[in-house]
Amino acid sequence: MFTIVNTEKGTLHVEPSRPSWKGSNYKSQAAAKAGITRTIKFYENAVADVEKVVAEGKPEYHSRWYNFYREAFPATEDEPLGRDMLNVADRLEVVALDDYVEPQITRTGRSPYNGNEITVTIGINSIGTHMDPLCESHYTR
């Protein structure tokens, strides 16, 4: 089994066009490399669709790909959501699942459950999910 890792952050990469129930694991290295190619093409399609809508004289946000278009370019003061996904191939690497070690992060914050201050060490891929004790959904499941 193989997975795609973002070498800048150490996080697992999930294709934007891949259904969530499929996860981020691939049976072969070639399949994972194809996943990187699909990611790049996905964001190129988003940019092309928004450019087509703008050429028709409509605002950018009339495109159904607008949110992905905003992620496609680097973050700026005007566009804080930018993630530079068009040039992502340099930052993604195919790794055997057994060789991947998830980075751990220690955070301190207020618990949404009772308001007490807590310190938590959690995997970088679990931040903001229902597994994060500093996230309200942890207590509502």
Distance, CA of 47 to CA of 137 (rounded, Å): 33
pLDDT value, residue 1: 92
pLDDT value, residue 130: 82
- In terms of phi and psi (left: phi > 0; alpha: psi -120 to 50; beta: otherwise), the region of 99 is alpha
pLDDT value, residue 82: 66
Q: Give the domain extent around 110.
A: 104-140
Asked if 64 and 108 sit in the same domain, the reply is: no
Asked if 78 and 42 sit in the same domain, the reply is: yes
pLDDT single digits (tens) 77-121? 776 666 778 788 888 999 998 998 989 999 999 888 888 899 999
Asked if 25 and 60 sit in the same domain, the reply is: yes
Residues 100, 3 contacting (CB under 8 angstroms) = yes
pLDDT single digits (tens) 19-63? 888 888 999 999 999 999 999 999 999 999 999 999 999 999 999
pTM for the whole thing? 0.77
How many domains are contained in the chain?
Answer: 2
Distance, CA of 118 to CA of 141 (rounded, Å): 20
pLDDT value, residue 138: 67
Asked if 94 and 108 sit in the same domain, the reply is: no
Amino acid at 63: S
Asked if 24 and 75 sit in the same domain, the reply is: yes
Residues 28, 2 contacting (CB under 8 angstroms) = yes
